[in-house]
Structure 1
Amino acid sequence: MIKKVVLFISKIVLCGLFSFLFIENLSAQNLLPLDWNIAFKSDACLSTRGAKAHSSVCTLLSWERQGYFEGDGDCILSATFNIKELQKSYLLLMRMQCEVRDVRINGHSVAQNIKNTFWSNRDAYSTIRVPKSILRKGENQIVIDCSSLGYTGGVSHTMLVLKSLNNKITENVRLSLPTADHVCLGNNRVVTIHYQTTRQATIRFRVENDFHQSYLDSIITVSPRDSIMNIDLNELCSTPGFYQVTAVMHGAGYSGNAQWMAVKPEEAACDNRTAIGFEDYWAKAKAELAAIKPEFKLHRIDSLCQKSKRDVYIVEMQSLGNLTVRGYYFVPRTAGKHRAVLQVPGYGYGFENIDGFLNDDTDRVELALCVRGHGISADVFHPGFGVPGVWGYKLCNSDSVAYRGIYMDCVRAIDFLCSRPEVDAHRIGVKGGSQGGGLTLATAALCSDRIAACAYFDPFPCDMRHQIQVRTICQSELKRNLAYYGNPCSYLEVLCVQDLIDTRSFASKIKCSVLYTPALFDDDCPVEGGFAAYNLITSPKEYRAFPNEGHVEGFTHEAMIMSWLDKKLSE
């Protein structure tokens, strides 16, 4: 229930001193609301996850954070907006993480076939001139026909702005937290709302945790004479965990901002129980791997050596099930033994772009491993990354599930590094993000006596019983994969198999130094899972949080992470 709120709030009256905080942007004097109705054309998505046929979405948030994804099918977004006085000309600015078939205002089509440019140019947007003749004084309606709700990784780049070219009024609202990384360890859980308005306005201020539990939904009235408001959340958000905070201001138009706040993340509750039979399950897998001759083979790639300051090879090795897995191997041209880093891949990535490795002249050995089903190791085992994909491959069978073999691929890669004369076997590290983060945790635990340092970014699969509650579309994905095989087992039995491959259960077995780099906006592999593992690690560890980044942006800290690993492997 929305309610007027006066508690927890202190206002600071400021004059022109802080006017520099606000710059005119594309959301200035936006006539369109940020909350839209969403309705699906098919009931297909409703049966797999209990979704509502009609609901609402906020453009400040990603589709996936709100429980929607591409597999849900075609949908209609609609909203009403008011025009007090008609102006001479209007522009509609659009950027959406989906395909747009048609845009209609008051029944008139104003744009068609707008493509999703998230992967090619996520800052691009379409500019559409809206004729005054189709608008009316008072209430208007806009309807957008959408398909293929696109992946974002957590940060919404959606822009839906309708503004008059003649209106120069600038309105803005944004949120800030007391710490640069948005991690609150003490009683400093105060969110500051910075706003600019030329008239009395309302701000809808909402707080919910990562499990979608609402903590506050309030309407705050503000006036032009003020520009800053502090919201004290110390009592409301006292439980360690992760909180999404949004503010939507409605004055002459609409503007908004969303942020995440981490509250004492190292104290966040996590389940340290492992699945029944977990130890025996992985002991058996390692025994099976040990019985297979590795048959390491190196193939020097002269064309790549010419582009690199290190020698470049493709390595082959036999892994679980006698499957051949491969990787790109980079060796310094200096004599002696070197520190080494095993790089493990994210889901669906097979190190197709190795330019970063080729251009790196660090005196370090690196192995970019393509686990089974990925890159140059997808020749025999190739379930793809859709349905059922690697994650959903034979998901009812604990002996055949893909990650049993994939984790052993990583163990075999460590066997390879330890066998090499150019590698110092006491200075081996492992790193990866997303699926690679999960592989990093598993490798560091399964090879705990051979790994000196590891670095991971928001891992998968990790703390899956909770992840499917945070990233709710995971439930739909699992059910689709189960249906692909004809539902040979129950959904609960699927979760029991997931328990056996859950990398959270490996965390307590890690002995090396650990770096975790959480991205607070990540809705693909939410930080709850990363910290669930982190909080069970007993070896030396540290984390560096990135407050404004999602899953995609989380992969941009390669230099910092490698510098950390180099330092740890040189100690």
Structure 2
Amino acid sequence: MPFTDLPLVELERFRPDVREPADFDAFWAKTLSKSRAAGAGRGADLVPAETPITEVVVEDLTFPGFGGEPVKGWVVRPRRRPDDAPLPAVVEFNGYNGGRGIAGERTGWALAGNVHVFMDTRGQGSGWGTGGDTPDPHGGGPAAHGWMTRGIEDPRDHYYRRVYTDAALLVEHVRALPFVDAGRVSVTGGSQGGGIAIAAGALASAAAVLPDVAFLCAWEHGMQVATSDPFTELARYLAVHRDALETVLTTASYLDGVNFARRITAPALFSVALMDDVVPPSTTFAAYNALASEDHEIAVYPFNGHEGGQTRQWLRQVEFLRARGLAV
């Protein structure tokens, strides 16, 4: 498999011109405020999950997300005595068209001593894995196959406005759990999950942000250079809606991971793979190079594709958080 993008030396200084709306912060503040109000009085609801796993606690999570709508997830945590101190938490978001799956599929963070929260991605869960449980009860205008162009005519209607809101509010709900140390809630995810983690990290001021092979960054550049979905969904849409480019770019500017990265001051550990033929490495570097954080690192996997560093990157994440007192 060949390298798919710019040479590493150019990626390290790649800063595309990503437009930023003047009302970006106001747009998101209003979005979150309205959804908090819609879900007022309802916190995260946890019930024991049906699972044969006994050595860690696995709970079925429901919380009010965008518009107060119920969103599912899993909480996995060590078995602790009632008098033990609250634990750090890692909130994880999933890849494109995957769901939360079956209870107990992901136990690594809990087995390492932390609370792990895994969010279902609304409307997704039928492309791979073992399914999802959160509908997206919203329609939209004409769209290409996939999620990138759903509601593309207006940022208020776009699919990722709802998903990012779910993610940011989940971080807030996790902070309120009695067994979680509210000052040590970090976010992570791969591909789409990495893009969601960047947005949630900025909107909810997470303690640390750890995206892997992050998608949803530098949308305009991505749709120009990507050779496969999901970025090519935008190109297919514009091939039909030939006069919609300005509309697409305006909507994308409210959702672009580069604009969220500009607002992240927390410690950040990114990863990228230089043979990635799904998410062009330059789009991930665009967000990484835009970080406001002074404490940031990026792990580069030169000979990997979209799978990235996998478990090796997880080990780096554990070390990164422990070094900063953000994980057990």
TM-score band, normalised by the shorter chain? 0.7 to 0.9
How far did 1:430 drift? 0.6
What TM-score does the superposition give when structure 2 sets the normalisation length?
Answer: 0.85
Question: Which of 275, 283, 294 is the aligned partner of 2:29?
Answer: 283
Q: Deviations over 1:227-282 (max 9, x none)?
A: xxxxxxxxxxxxxxx23xxxxxxxxxxxxxxxxxx115432333364134322221
Q: Counterpart of 1:286 in structure 2: which amino acid?
A: L
Answering whether residue 93 of structure 2 is matched by residue 344 of structure 1, we say yes
Q: Taking CA–CA contacts closer than 8 Å with sequence separation of 6 or more, which of the two structures ends up with the larger relative contact order? A: 2
Q: Counterpart of 2:45 in structure 1: which amino acid?
A: K
Q: Counterpart of 1:567 in structure 2: which amino acid?
A: A
Answering whether residue 307 of structure 2 is matched by residue 558 of structure 1, we say no
Look up the match of 1:390.
147
Q: Deviations over 1:329-356 (max 9, x none)?
A: 1122122200000011111111326433
Whole-angstrom CA distance in 1 between matches of 2:200 and 2:148: 18
Q: Counterpart of 1:344 in structure 2: which amino acid?
A: F
Whole-angstrom CA distance in 1 between matches of 2:195 and 2:12: 19
Look up the match of 1:441.
198
Look up the match of 1:466.
221
Unaligned runs of 5+ in 2: 126-131
Q: Deviations over 1:161-220 (max 9, x none)?
A: xxxxxxxxxxxxxxxxxxxxxxxxxxxxxxxxxxxxxxxxxxxxxxxxx3xxxxxxxxxx
Q: Counterpart of 2:28 in structure 1: which amino acid?
A: W
Whole-angstrom CA distance in 1 between matches of 2:279 and 2:28: 24
Look up the match of 1:292.
38
Whole-angstrom CA distance in 1 between matches of 2:105 and 2:327: 25
Whole-angstrom CA distance in 2 between matches of 1:438 and 1:290: 22
Q: Tell me if structure 2 keeps the 8 A contact 1:310–1:333.
A: yes
Q: Deviations over 1:118-147 (max 9, x none)?
A: xxxxxxxxxxxxxxxxxxxxxxxxxxxxxx
Look up the match of 1:505.
259
Q: Counterpart of 1:462 in structure 2: which amino acid?
A: C
Question: Which of 10, 16, 22 is the aligned partner of 1:270?
Answer: 16
Look up the match of 1:30.
none
Relative to structure 1, the CA distance from residue 443 to residue 380 in structure 2 (aligned partners, 3 Å threshold; closer, same or farther) is closer
Whole-angstrom CA distance in 2 between matches of 1:382 and 1:320: 11
Question: Which of 176, 185, 192 is the aligned partner of 1:428?
Answer: 185
Question: Which of 60, 66, 70 is the aligned partner of 1:314?
Answer: 60
Q: Counterpart of 1:547 in structure 2: which amino acid?
A: P
Whole-angstrom CA distance in 2 between matches of 1:482 and 1:266: 30
Q: Tell me if structure 2 keeps the 8 A contact 1:309–1:359.
A: no
Higher strand share: 1
Output aligned runs, 1:64-463, within 5 Å: 210=5, 242-243=6-7, 262-263=8-9, 265-271=11-17, 273-293=19-39, 295=42, 296-301=44-49, 303-304=50-51, 306-334=52-80, 335-352=84-101, 354-357=104-107, 360-375=110-125, 376-381=132-137, 387-448=144-205, 451-463=206-218
Q: Deviations over 1:15-48 (max 9, x none)?
A: xxxxxxxxxxxxxxxxxxxxxxxxxxxxxxxxxx
Q: Deviations over 1:369-397 (max 9, x none)?
A: 112123434334498xx943222212212
Whole-angstrom CA distance in 2 between matches of 1:498 and 1:564: 31
How far did 1:555 drift? 3.5
Relative to structure 1, the CA distance from residue 350 to residue 562 in structure 2 (aligned partners, 3 Å threshold; closer, same or farther) is farther
Relative to structure 1, the CA distance from residue 397 to residue 491 in structure 2 (aligned partners, 3 Å threshold; closer, same or farther) is same
Look up the match of 1:172.
none
C-alpha root-mean-square deviation of aligned residues, in Å?
A: 2.7
SS of the equivalent of 1:548 reads coil
Question: Which of 507, 518, 537 is the aligned partner of 2:291?
Answer: 537
SS of the equivalent of 2:168 reads helix
Look up the match of 2:301.
546
How far did 1:495 drift? 2.1
SS of the equivalent of 1:267 reads coil
Relative to structure 1, the CA distance from residue 391 to residue 268 in structure 2 (aligned partners, 3 Å threshold; closer, same or farther) is closer
Q: Tell me if structure 2 keeps the 8 A contact 1:343–1:369.
A: yes
How far did 1:61 drift? 4.7
Q: Decide which moves more: 308-317 or 540-549.
A: 308-317
Q: Deviations over 1:494-513 (max 9, x none)?
A: 22211111111011211210
Give the % identical residues. Answer: 28
Q: Tell me if structure 1 keeps the 8 A contact 2:100–2:133.
A: no
How far did 1:315 drift? 0.8
Whole-angstrom CA distance in 1 between matches of 2:167 and 2:62: 13
Look up the match of 1:78.
none
Higher helix share: 2
